[in-house]
Amino acid sequence: MCLAGTQEEVRAHVEEEGLPRLSRRKLLLGGAAIGAAVLSRPAVSLAGAPQGPRRLRDLTHVFRAGFPMYTGDAPARETLVSIPVNGFYAQRWTFGEHSGTHMDGPGHFTLGGRLSPDITPEELFVPACVIDISDRAAVDPDVVVTVDDLRRFERRHGRIPRGAGVFMHSGWESRVNDPAAYRNLGPDGLFHFPGFGIEAVEWLLERRDIRCIGVDTLSLDNGPSQTFDVHITLLGADRYGLENLANLNRIPARGTEAAVGLIPWEEGSGGPCRVIARW
């Protein structure tokens, strides 16, 4: 049996091209070949985009008791009921909004800035660009993403798209299971870990109209910052930041879409979220 419309498609092609008419046998064989070709193609969506296998990568750390914090108490949990005793299992958690992999919303640093429920669904999907500074971070824990890093990225991978999420990969997540090493408090009383430089953030806002930035450390600003210029500038521009991201070295530098699963916490200045990359 031929696929519906196969004979008509072949016949129309013959007539259009002025080719010799085919016998029924040749027509059937030709139709079978066309059918095989159609079935061998990747599935196509209604929008016309090929729908082949997609890859996913979780960019989120497990939300756990004792996760390192920039300030405040680490998350804690207790078992409320158990299956052997109560027939079902549930916990109670206590944690600050800025625990684990989380968002800093505009209202975190900006008086009157938008809060968690104000972030629109459209803003939670971003084309991701990963800026790798891990080589420098291995030598200098206070290193920041610079404009030169961004230009170097674009020379290799193309222009950072409008509405992008620009993520810093410093390799710092390798320390996450050691809170002291992750915070890296120095004898000067300051933290020491990588972050974004203010010039890079201003460049991204003014020239690329990005939607957010993200880091694999405790703060958008690098550890020793006392003025939080990156927070103030980025959130003041009504954008958001993501902190404590994971697995940035396991996704492509470009060509990935990140989905930010933020709960619309009531009056939230941000909050824990799950970030998933797909490509």
Can you give the residue range of the structural domain that contains 235? 56-69+98-278
d(CA 44, CA 237): 39
Q: Which CATH number characterizes residue 130's domain?
A: 3.50.30.50
Give every CB contact of residue 151 below 8 A, 6+ residues apart in sequence.
Answer: none
d(CA 191, CA 169): 18
**231 located within any domain:** yes
User: Among 108, 157, 192, 231, which one carries the catalytic annotation?
Assistant: 108
Rounded to 5 degrees, what are φ and ψ at 151? -65, -40
Rounded to 5 degrees, what are φ and ψ at 68? -55, 140
Q: Are residues 118 and 248 in the same domain?
A: yes
Q: Are residues 221 and 146 in the same domain?
A: yes
Residue 31 gets the label, from left (phi > 0), alpha (psi -120 to 50) or beta, of alpha
Q: Are residues 153 and 242 in the same domain?
A: yes
d(CA 49, CA 42): 10
Q: What is the pLDDT of residues 96-153, one digit of tens each?
A: 999 999 999 999 999 999 999 999 999 999 999 999 999 999 999 999 999 999 999 9
For residue 153, give the amino acid letter: F
Q: What is the pLDDT of residues 204-241, one digit of tens each?
A: 999 999 999 999 999 999 999 999 999 999 999 999 99
**82 located within any domain:** no
pTM of the entire predicted model: 0.82
Q: What is the pLDDT of residues 38-64, one digit of tens each?
A: 334 444 343 444 556 799 999 999 999
Q: Are residues 203 and 229 in the same domain?
A: yes
Does residue 157 have an active-site annotation? no
**79 located within any domain:** no
Residue 87 has pLDDT above 90, yes or no: yes
Number of domains present in the structure of the chain: 2
Q: Report the largest interatomic distance among the alpha carbons of the chain, rounded to a whole angstrom.
A: 89
At residue 52, the pLDDT reads: 63
